[in-house]
Amino acid sequence: MPGKVHVQSNINGEDTDFLCEPRQSLLEVLRDVLSLTGTKEGCNDGNCGACTVIMDGRIVDSCCVLGVEAQGKQLTTIEGIASADGLHPIQQAFLENASLQCGICTPGFIVAVKALLDREPKPTEQRVRHWLAGNLCRCTGYDKIVRAVLDASEKIQASPR
Partner 1 sequence: MTTSSFEYFAPTTLGEAQTLLSQYGGDAKIVAGGHSLIPTMKIRLAEPKYLIDLGRISELSYIREQEGGIAIGAMTTYYQIESSSTVRSRYLALAEASGEVADMQVRNKGTIGGSLAHADPAADLPAVILALEGQISLASSGGQRTLVADDFLVDTFSTALGDDEIIAEIRIPALPANTGGSYKKFGNKASHFAIVGVSAIVTMSGGTCQRVRIGITGAGPRAVRGRSAEAVLEGKEPTGSNLAQASEQAAQGIDFLGDIHASEEYRAHLTRVFTRRALEEAISRAR
- The contact set with partner 1 (CB under 8 A) reads 1-2, 5, 21-25, 28, 44-47, 49, 52, 58-61, 63-66, 68-69, 71, 112, 131, 133-136
Nearer to partner 1, 96 or 120 (CB): 120
Q: Are 80 and 12 in contact (CB under 8 A)?
A: yes
Nearer to partner 1, 13 or 22 (CB): 22
Cα–Cα dist 96/88, whole Å: 12
Listed in sequence order, the residues at least 6 apart from 29 whose beta carbon sits closer than 8 Å to its beta carbon are 7, 18, 20, 67, 70
Nearer to partner 1, 98 or 130 (CB): 130
Q: Are 36 and 50 in contact (CB under 8 A)?
A: no
The least distance separating partner 1 from the CB of residue 143, rounded to whole angstroms, comes to 17
Nearer to partner 1, 11 or 63 (CB): 63
The least distance separating partner 1 from the CB of residue 160, rounded to whole angstroms, comes to 24
Q: Give the SS3 label for residue 66.
A: strand
The least distance separating partner 1 from the CB of residue 158, rounded to whole angstroms, comes to 26
The least distance separating partner 1 from the CB of residue 1, rounded to whole angstroms, comes to 6
Cα–Cα dist 88/94, whole Å: 10
129 phi/psi in degrees, rounded to 5: -65, -40
With CA atoms as reference, report the closest residue to 2 among 72, 73, 68, 71: 68
Nearer to partner 1, 5 or 87 (CB): 5
The least distance separating partner 1 from the CB of residue 93, rounded to whole angstroms, comes to 20
